[in-house]
Structures are given as C-alpha cells and as structure tokens.
Structure 1
Amino acid sequence: MDDATPADEEMSVTDATRRRASLFGRRSWGETRRIFAILRKETVGGALLLAGALLALIWSNSPWSDGYQALRDLPVGPASLHLDLSLASWAADGLLAIFFFVAGLELKREFVAGDLRDPRRAAVPVAAAVGGVLVPALLYRLIAGADGARGWAIPTATDIAFAIAVLAVVGRFLPSALRTFLLTLAVVDDLLAIVIIAVFYTAQLSVVPLLGALVPLAIFAGLVQRRVRSWWLLLPLAAVTWALVHASGVHATVAGVLLAFTVPVIRSAAAGGPDAGPGLAEHFEHRFRPISAGVAVPVFAFLSAGVTVGGIAGLATALTDRVALGIVVGLVVGKPIGIMAATWLVARFTRANLDEGLNWLDVFGLALLGGIGFTVSLLIGELSFGLGSVRDDRAKVAVLAGSLAAAAVASVILRARGRAYRRVYEAETADEDHDGVPDIYQPRPHGPTG
C-alpha cells in the first residue's frame, strides 16, 4: 500500500526540481568515465610540460645558454615555400596546430554528443570561460596601459595540462563534476583563444591562400564524413590546409580547429546503422591526444619557456614592468574573479544551487586553477611582442610567476577541503554489487517503501 501523502509528493517534486537545477551535478557514467580517461592522459602531459619548461629555464640560464638560443633559432624547412622557419616557430605554428586539433575534437564532441549538448549544462562552463577572458583582459589593460595594449590576451588562457597536473597532486579526491567543469572550461577557453588569435593577431591577411585552403579542407571533410581513416590521404590534405592558412597570415593553429570541426562525432545510420559505433572524432582523439599531450605541448614549452632571468635582481626588474605586472594580476586575480562572477550570475539567474557536498569555496579553488596560463599564454606573448624581444621575455617570466602563484593559492584551498572531497569521492566510487559501475550512477528501483 502506498502511504505517500500530498505533502510527501510535493516534497518529492521539489527535490527533483532542485536536482535538475543544481550546479556541478553528476554527469552520466559514460561521460564521467571518458572524462577521467582524458584527465589521466593530460596529467602525464602536464608533467612532461613542466619538465620541458624547467629544462628550458635551466639551460637558458646556464653558461651554455647560447646553445639553447642557437637550437631555438635553427632554421628548418623549404625556403622555396616560405617555410624555412626556426624550430621555435615550427613548435608554435606546427606542433600547436595538433594541440588545437585535439581541443577542437573535444569541443565538438562535448556539444554534439556529450552532456553539454544540454544548454542548461553548457551555460555554466561557457559563461565561466567568457568571464575568465573578459576580466583578466580588462585588468591587464588598466595596468599595462597603452604601451603594452597588444598583449591584452596573454592572461586570458587556461593551460589544461598544467592545471590538471596540479589537480592530480592536490585534488585527488575532487568530485568528478568539478574535474569535468575544469576540463570543459579549459576546452572552451581554448576555442576563445583561437578566435582571439585569428581575429586580433592577424597582421596582414592574404585572401587567395585563405580561399585556397578551403579546397583541401573540403576534400578532407568529405573523406572523414565517409569514415576514411587512411593517413596517406588525410595527412597530406591536413598539411596543405595548414600551409595555406599559414601563408594567408592567419595563425596556422587555426587550421587545426577547422580540420577538427569537419570530423564527425556520431556515425550516421546511413553509414552503417545506429549501432555502427561512434564517429571518427573519438578515433582521432584517441590517436592524437597522446601526441599532443606527450610531444607537441612539451616540445613547445621547451622551445618557448627558455628566458634568461638574470637572478633575483633580473626577476625583480622583469616583474616590475607594467606588462608583466598586468599579466600576473590578470592570471592570479582576474581569472578567478571572472570565472567566479560568471558562475555566480548563472546560478543567480537560473536559481540553481550548488550540488550536494559542494560550496563556493570549492568553486573558488577551481577558479584559481583557471589562472594557470602557460601554453597559449606563451604563444600569445610571442605574437604580441615578437619572439625573443625584451617585452616577450618579461611576459614569459610573468606567465611563469603568475601561473605558479595561482597554483600555490589553489593548492592551499583545495587541500583544506580534502576531507570533504574524500567523502564525496567515496560515495561516487562505491560499487557494492561489483559490476564495474558505481552504485550512485545506477538507476534506483521504484516502488512502495516502508
């Protein structure tokens, strides 16, 4: 016999509404498992990135620093095609195109087949990413002044590999919803960064090569839509697309995103039935993410992070520069304020509450991790002031200092909340029936109680 009263039914409806209108609620088990697999790879990539940056800093501040500069400036490539670029330029223009290709695949996957295809779920990380761009850019502009205005976008990027590496050390038991939020925030942040690079850092546009890039791009799109995986067909088309975008004056990393957006996420019924499996996006992401995280980003960090600091006095001089100060403030203060403010506004206007077991201090700790800018920040610094210039070197010092400061403060907050995270983690991973799926992700049986 069902003893439920109208009051009980009303409470049940209220609880259901509250669950639907919660920030950082649990995602599906399939998405959670996929996100965790990505985070494991990015953690390894973050460790390699830090190793590459550290090696560059040690070498560039050693008695053998001339060797580092010679290696970075070594020209490679065919001069007849205007591709006789330095190794540092190949890393920034070529290797980071792989990084943005993977980011584009992940972004498309999230919004086409992931949990973020639901606009209500997408609103929070998208708004947070936008806030995390606007506020640090504004603070930088106020501090750096007109003289350093070109570098306004340097403190707007979040480095996912660096942030996840820190998270792996200090946030081992962080709830899955917050980990997912950080990853999605960083992916959207990458998209905003590539738009900024394409729009604001294209000094001279050549229309003919840009239009010419549409031809190999269209052929590439046609092949991947038919699930063609042959590297000897796709790789040359991708390379030609990249070369033509590079020749147009648009930063060549844009080609990586354009290519990624053509790759299908879901295999159509016409191509093999509804049970034929996922589209090529998942296949390409599986193949290229290790290359991106394990090779492309660490090599770029090694060839870009080397800057001669000049001891304590040199460090002090670099960080008192208005541009450097604007970058540090943008990363350490602007990013968390922008992310927090945007997230709070979404909660306010949608009347959503934080999920059970979380509080706003957790969001603040995560927002501080958003202030870890490295890969894209270094790239934008080079585009703003020129590789090897005094301002570029000071910008690099500021990016490193700001990122380390943001990581340190975030670590203090996240460690302080470790005990609460452990309780949530244990609830999320409990699997009493040993079927490989945590009980919290399984549907509860319905029926009379009592």
Structure 2
Amino acid sequence: MLFNENNEVIKNVEQKAVLVGINNGKDDISIEDSMEELKELAIAAGAVVLDSIIQNKSKIDPAYFIGKGKVDEIKLICNALDANMVIFNDELSESQIRNLEEKLELTIIDRTTLILDIFASRAKTKEAKLQVEVAQLRYRLPRLIGLGRSLSRTGGGIGTRGPGEQKLELDRRRILDKISDINRQLKEIQKNRKVQRAKRKRNQIPIIALVGYTNAGKSTLMNKFLSLNLQKSEDKKVYSENMLFATLDTYHRRIFLDDKKEFILMDTVGFVSKLPHHLIEAFKATLEEVKEADLLIHVIDSSNKNYDMQRKVTNKVLKELGVLNKPMIYAFNKCDIALDNICYPDKNSISISALTGYGIDKLIDMIKEYLFKDIKKYKMIIPFEKGNIYSVLCDKTKVYNVEYKENGIHLEIDLDTALYNRYKQYIISS
C-alpha cells in the first residue's frame, strides 16, 4: 500500500519481497528459523515473500553487508521474480542501504525498519503511536542519506509509514526538534500514568503482569481471565489475534475471584528476537510498569519449536528492565497443540490453553499461593456504629460466621497483611 503524509492509504501496491540473511553461526536461533520469523514479519507488514536467500559468511561486508558477488546474484533473482523490495534479516548501516539501493535499484528494508513498520501499523493509542514515531525518527536520523530512495518516493509502503513520508530535505535539526516535541508529549502521558500507578498502589491490590514473546497468547489469556470474572462491569476484553504484535498497548484489568480475592492483570507488548534497541528505549517507560507487578506470568507458546529461545529472549529483556528477579510463573500456553517433550525450566511451570481453558484453575491456585499466602483467619468485633467497615470488609474479603450481639457484629474473617494493619483494632483473636 502507498500512504500519504497523514498515514492514509492512497493506492494499493503489491510489495513483492526477496528476503536475505547471513549465517555467521553466532545467533541463538538457527538461520533457517530466523529467516522463517523474518518471513512472518514481512507478511505481517503486508509483503508477498517471493524467495529467501541465505549466505554463509563469518564477516560482514562493510559496503554491502553481503558479498559483492551475492549482490549480483540477488539482482538476477529479483529481476526474474519481478521483486520490488529486498528485506535483510539484520540492521544495515546508512552506507550499506545506499550502496545496495544503487546496485539493485530496488527498495532496501532491514529487519529494524520492518519491525518499526509493523509497530506503526499496529499502534492504536496516542502513547503507542508517539513511542513508535520517536523510535522511527531515532533510527532514521543517521540514515537520511542511505534512505534516500524510500524517503523520496511518492507515498509510502513498508518502511515509510509514520515519519518516513516526510521528504529527504527534512534536515537533522527538524528531526531532532520533532523528537524533542514527542518526548515532551510522552512525559505528559507518563505523568498521568504515574498518577494511576499511585492510585493502584494506594488500593493495595496486587498486580500481575503478563509477559512473553509476540503471539504467545498473552491477550487471549487475559480475555480468559475476564470471561471468568464475577463482576462483569469491568469485563473489558482486549484485542487478540493470531498474528505478530497484535497488542502494543499496556492494558490493566481488575480480576475478581470467587472467594472475594482480586488482582489487577496487566497485558504488555510482546518481544521478538533482535528487537530494535530504539524500540526498547521508546517503550521503556511503558515496560517499566512491569516493575510495579507483584508477580509475572511468562506466557510461552509451547506449539512453537523455538519456544525455549523465545523464553530466553523475553528473559533477556526482563533482565535489562531489572525485573527478572520477581516471582514468575511460566505458563506454557497452547497445550492443546503443543509439541511433545516440552522441557519446563523450573517447578513454577504449568501447561495451559488460554483458548480452551485447560489448566486455568490450576494457574489460579498458583496465583493465590503467590499473592495471598499471607492471608490468615481472625475473629473480629465491629461496633454497630462502624457498620461501614463491615460493608467494606464484605466487599474485600471472605467473611464467615456472622453474629449480631449486644456489643457489635461478631465474625470470622480472612485478612491479608494490608487489611490486618488497617483494621487490627477490631481483632480479638486469630
């Protein structure tokens, strides 16, 4: 598709791509699997993939990334297939983009640009759109010359969504000013988020963050919890689809369990191998909300043969955020179509299907064990004139054996540490 400067589609153009990758033997994932993931990313961005080319090469060519002879071979293949785009599996320098475009006379897209483009097309909220735009601008700033072909085209397509539609004569000063303006807007949004975070903290409701690789099923799992919610007024399902990066925004939903226990469930953006540094930086403020979580549920696609690599990629980002030491449950999702002989990393692992509901009850039991293990049973007497406290407690926790006597309301009750500290003056025994 072609886009105008307002990101509006002005013409549908088939983007026919040839994929190119280098096998240097240094990546955690095999080159075949990495290229398959690149193919999925290209399709998610709207391209038709015509062919995939791999070169075994230990050293990167500073001029063309691949060998010069390989460039000539790719040109012949692209001409034969009538391709109009070449997508590389790694990040390219400004000079490499320029040299390849001059040699191949085609649009050159690298993996970073591809992922940024997908994020630009998926962003829904103002914050997500601004975060993606600032990541795109930071990436393109040192590459203005090399991106000449794609930036000077009429309209857009993969790699030209968002700020890319602006013409090449956009100088660095204006881009830096734009980045500064976006950062100012993001700071205002982040102030509001801090207010919301403080409010959640005051309510002392535990928070669970869903984390994981893209398309592992985090949003589907959130919707499964919402379908079990006892208070339907907050039953707001989130968007979920079987595709890469279906969700970019951080959603918070309040989950009420059948025994009056509750927690806030947070959905987060998914990760991917070779996730662009600019994106991690742009989304860091959003991802740092994970720091507020009392428990992480790491959702893993157990039907994907690279599930363990995906787990490690996610943990690497969590480590960068400083949250890998938080309590974590590994939820091996899609067990209804899972591979055989799944290897669980530790005892805090469970097999589930967010789609069918298998294992969700057991997952809830594990959540309760983590979040509510400090709950104890107490006996209380609440004076009649403090009847509002009784109402609050009935809403907040499990109440047993209520009796109305001369000196007040006698009851047995489950209290966590927070409720105990708030109402301990009415406790007569434990």
- TM-score grouping bracket, smaller chain normalisation: under 0.3
Greater CA radius of gyration, 1 or 2? 2
If asked which structure has higher relative contact order (CA below 8 Å, sep 6+), I would say 1
More strand per residue = 2
Give TM-score, length-normalised by structure 2.
Answer: 0.24
Give TM-score, length-normalised by structure 1.
Answer: 0.23
